[in-house]
Structure 1
């Protein structure tokens, strides 16, 4: 199960997993993509009751062995202009959905003694202006990862996170077109001097979801062209 599966990193991961022979169930606000490589379900994950109903239905219909908590909501606001309703909305979409989705698939993974939970965090957990809500939510996902990894360590279920840096998704390009000030600002923070590609993020995610990552749990992997390390020396 992959939340936020219709675009960007979620879509790239869906394609990669399907190509490797896995059954993919994606959840997105709009499920009108006939080319989606699996089952795509429409749900507004900001609606707690709707999300609960959708996750419960999917858990009855499918025997999941993994969940990717990828859906996210960003509402940039600098300190002094933070609206608490917007803050709560960001927290709800990023965090409530992760708990709901994971708890829905957990019984089957416990029963089979094998499973993968993968949370999608962000480079912004290291600090970024205007991201009080978003970065706090993504930092909480790192805590979810560490806490759940300890709770599930003896069950055969691993829990890890990825923290992508600037990635060339559709949404990123809408907000930061080529030649824009935003593009230049983001590029200046990446030592490799380029943006990540969705499939590059998906490749690392697929590894953490696979058979060969069974001794890795509780970890957050930054996939960011070196941005979490520092600036390039040249």
Structure 2
């Protein structure tokens, strides 16, 4: 299959990791359909901006069906995510339900819509952004549970879709300097510095650290790698991290 032009659906492209992945794909001449709940502040001839609330299953389905009807999508990259931290005593059922819709159900709906044309082409790449918190982190019941669910779903899809030339992989970042991170830990604070000092690499991650890993899985030549979880976490998955 010719490398260009691929067409990728990328969620969470208005900022952070998703935005950088979209930029890297556009630089390679790929087409990108970027999904976000808020407007994008950049334009490109090969970029299509779609505003959608991925917590809304019906809205996600409408958008997915529309994109699938207009494009032969080769890549689905799910970056959109929320944390909603709470200790066990304060977790609400609606937090589990909401983050399940965002982290698990919405990429399922998007992938289901794109599958027929991927199968017809004999090629596809599905990449999830998960989290080191999938291994457990205090105050992350809803977040950790739904990110861990992504791992099981990806491995299941890898079994099912491998014969069709479609790979499914996961990138699981550790602490990354994004708005989501700074929503929990104050920017440039002593707490941020202390967290960096706990990591084996002695620094926090950047969006570029994560997007480079995503692009590896997205490559047309990465067809022998599927069902994998790559921790891009500065060594935090080794244990000993305290947020």
Q: 1:215 aligns with which of 213, 224, 230?
A: 224
Contact in 2 for aligned 1:78/1:131 (Cα 8 Å): yes
Partner of 2:122: 113
Partner of 1:35: 43
Structure 1 residue 170, shift from structure 2 partner: 2.9
Q: 2:155 aligns with which of 146, 162, 172?
A: 146
Distance 1:35 1:231, change over 3 A: same
TM-align CA RMSD: 1.7
Question: Where do residues 67-106 of structure 1 align in structure 2 (5 Å cutoff)?
Answer: 67-106=76-115
Contact in 2 for aligned 1:191/1:231 (Cα 8 Å): no
Contact in 2 for aligned 1:66/1:115 (Cα 8 Å): yes
Is residue 2:19 matched to residue 1:11? yes
Structure 1 residue 53, shift from structure 2 partner: 0.3
Partner of 2:235: 226
Is residue 2:111 matched to residue 1:66? no
Distance 1:32 1:117, change over 3 A: closer
| TM-score, normalised by the number of residues in structure 1 | 0.93
Contact in 1 for aligned 2:96/2:146 (Cα 8 Å): no
SS in 2 for 1:147: helix
Distance 1:178 1:73, change over 3 A: closer
Runs (4+) of structure 1 exceeding 3 A deviation are 34-37
Output one character per residue of 1:93-142: Cα deviation in whole Å (capped at 9) or x when no partner. 11110111111111110010000010111000111001111011000000
CA distance in 2, matches of 1:152, 1:125: 24
Gaps of at least 5 residues in structure 1 are: none
Partner of 2:31: 23
Structure 1 residue 185, shift from structure 2 partner: 5.0
CA distance in 2, matches of 1:31, 1:108: 28
Alignment length (residue pairs)? 232
| TM-score, normalised by the number of residues in structure 2 | 0.90
Gaps of at least 5 residues in structure 2 are: 1-8
Structure 1 stretch displaced more, 184-193 or 155-164: 184-193
Q: 1:135 aligns with which of 133, 144, 162?
A: 144
